[in-house]
Amino acid sequence: MTILITGATGLIGQNLVKTLLKRTPPNVKPNQIRLLIRKRNGSPSRNSFVQWVVKMGVEIIWGDLRSTSDVLRFTNVIDPDKSVLIHCGAVFNFYQSYQLLYNTNVIGTTRVLHGFHSNRIRKFVFVSSIAVYGALRNSNGQGITEDHPIDCKQRKSYELTKSLSEECVWKYSKKYPKRLITLVRPSGVVGGGGTTSDIFARMFFGRYVPLPGGGSEKISLVDVYDVVRALIHFSNFDIGNGEVFNVVSFTPTLREFIDEMAYVLNRRNVKILSVPLGLFKPLFYLSRLIRTFKKPKENSLLLPVLFNKLGQEIWIDNSKILAHGLSPESTLSESMNNFHHFLADNPWYAEEKFSIAL
Ligand SMILES: NC(=O)c1ccc[n+]([C@@H]2O[C@H](COP(=O)([O-])OP(=O)(O)OC[C@H]3O[C@@H](n4cnc5c(N)ncnc54)[C@H](OP(=O)(O)O)[C@@H]3O)[C@@H](O)[C@H]2O)c1
């Protein structure tokens, strides 16, 4: 059996590989794991992870999701009928060009699907996102369920690439209904570093955190270990085939989440600045206008997606995955505690990721 993983150096991927190698069961040996990793110098934690997997004897295929031949080499295994391919690799940020996002996230997924198909790998687990639901409006007390339509008409953005990549997976799944495919849609992933936590950490302006309406609306989040548990669950068992699952650990109010973040960031005396909800729409259009002419710098907070999402009571319903016997194990404070440890182990992280640019 081989577990093939893309995106292994990312937030979800690193935690997935570490969990697979630590856990008994599933008793996975390093030589049963194959990773597609780009050969490049990255952050200190990425570099030490890569050194660690090499030392452990995990099989690495050096390659890029933007190269068809790399992906075909990666998916060519000796035991495809016993193997599972977990596709986590994607560009998840709001600063890169749409062309790069599209080539990696959408065309990259079609390359991975092609490798899965032509090499007859047994199962495909695809990491999608709640971003596919697009610009939701207040859900009036109702959680968003999996049958909410995916929005493939969004403006060109990371979110659109997740919708389009899901669409490719659904088309394939409909064409080949006997192929084993499961999709998971994590909500904002926390519990380590990563794009979701970084954006919220950047909202601390000295002693102040501006929040829409004082932060009383809810936000659905998932601890990275709950995502990992879902991926292992659907890889191990032939359940949930041809289905998609929202993955959520907790749904605090924005204010509760920011209070926990304040603990992680050692900013216990922060004050919440309540921003009137009516300002968010004009700010959304203004940021969109600015972004038409000026590409955002890394770490920018002037992002249309932010003004579009904040200030709305939107939460994600996870009853479908609960009915499949998979309940979240992490609480918000445990998850934030893990983030706290992560920052202590990686002192470079906060300085590099939490500074703000326009
Ligand atoms: N984090 C969240 O809040 C969240 C929420 C919902 C869904 N998701 C989805 O979950 C998946 C993993 O997210 P994450 O948070 O773990 O992201 P991440 O930390 O940014 O990791 C992305 C991974 O994809 C790899 N990758 C990017 N471009 C690549 C390319 N051209 N070729 C090969 N590998 C490439 C990266 O490799 P390098 O190290 O070489 O860059 C990295 O391993 C993504 O599909 C994302 O859309 C994430």
Expressed in angstroms and rounded, the spacing between residue 88 Cα and the centre of ligand 1 is 6
Domain spans of the chain, in order of start: 3-190+221-250+314-330
Give the whole-angstrom CA distance, residue 14 versus residue 224: 10
Give me the residue label for tokens 């659109």. 160
Expressed in angstroms and rounded, the spacing between residue 90 Cα and the centre of ligand 1 is 4
140 burial class (0-12, 13-18, 19+ CB within 10 angstroms)?
Answer: exposed
Expressed in angstroms and rounded, the spacing between residue 92 Cα and the centre of ligand 1 is 6
Among 5, 6, 38, 231, the mutation site with the greatest number of ligand 1 atoms within 8 A of its Cβ is 38
Among 47, 62, 87, 88, the mutation site with the greatest number of ligand 1 atoms within 8 A of its Cβ is 88
Whether 188 and 227 have beta carbons less than 8 Å apart is answered as no
Among 11, 48, 91, 92, the mutation site with the greatest number of ligand 1 atoms within 8 A of its Cβ is 92
How confident is the model at residue 139, as a pLDDT?
A: 63
| 37, 280, 358 from 5: Cα distances, Å | 9, 39, 35
Identity at 86, one-letter amino acid code: I
Expressed in angstroms and rounded, the spacing between residue 282 Cα and the centre of ligand 1 is 31
C-alpha dihedral sign at 331, 4, 8, 295: negative
Q: Which residues contact 353 (CB under 8 A, 6 or more apart)?
A: 193, 198, 201, 299
Question: Which has the closest alpha carbon to 6: 131, 116, 119?
Answer: 116
Give the whole-angstrom CA distance, residue 13 versus residue 3: 12
116 CB neighbour count, 10 Å cutoff: 27
How confident is the model at residue 27, as a pLDDT?
A: 74
> What does the chain come to in residues?
358
Expressed in angstroms and rounded, the spacing between residue 194 Cα and the centre of ligand 1 is 9
Q: Which residue's C-alpha comes closest to atom 5 of ligand 1?
A: 188
Give the whole-angstrom CA distance, residue 208 versus residue 252: 20
Expressed in angstroms and rounded, the spacing between residue 7 Cα and the centre of ligand 1 is 5
Tokens of 275: 């921003």
Expressed in angstroms and rounded, the spacing between residue 13 Cα and the centre of ligand 1 is 8
Give the whole-angstrom CA distance, residue 354 versus residue 124: 35
Ligand 1 lining (C-beta closer than 6 Å): 7-13, 36, 38, 40, 42, 46, 64-66, 88-92, 104, 127, 129, 162, 186, 188-189, 194-196
Atom of ligand 1 nearest to the CA of 105: 45
Expressed in angstroms and rounded, the spacing between residue 140 Cα and the centre of ligand 1 is 32
How confident is the model at residue 356, as a pLDDT?
A: 75
Give me the residue label for tokens 């495919």. 181
Among 11, 46, 110, 250, the mutation site with the greatest number of ligand 1 atoms within 8 A of its Cβ is 11
Residues of the chain falling short of pLDDT 70: 23-26, 136-140, 357-358
Give the whole-angstrom CA distance, residue 57 versus residue 173: 33
DSSP conformation class of 253? B
Q: Which residue's C-alpha comes closest to atom 12 of ligand 1?
A: 88
**Helix spans in the chain (H):** 11-22, 44-56, 68-75, 98-101, 108-118, 158-175, 195-201, 224-236, 254-264, 280-293, 304-309, 319-323, 332-345, 347-353
Q: Which residue's C-alpha comes closest to atom 1 of ligand 1?
A: 189
- Dihedral of CA atoms 25, 31, 37, 42 in degrees, nearest 10, equals 80
109 CB neighbour count, 10 Å cutoff: 26
Give the whole-angstrom CA distance, residue 274 versus residue 229: 37
Q: Please tell me whether the overall predicted TM-score, pTM, comes out greater than 0.85 for this model.
A: yes
Q: Which residues contact 206 (CB under 8 A, 6 or more apart)?
A: none
DSSP conformation class of 89? -
Atom of ligand 1 nearest to the CA of 64: 32
> Domain 3-190+221-250+314-330 sits in which CATH superfamily?
NAD(P)-binding Rossmann-like Domain (3.40.50.720)
Atom of ligand 1 nearest to the CA of 7: 43
Expressed in angstroms and rounded, the spacing between residue 272 Cα and the centre of ligand 1 is 31
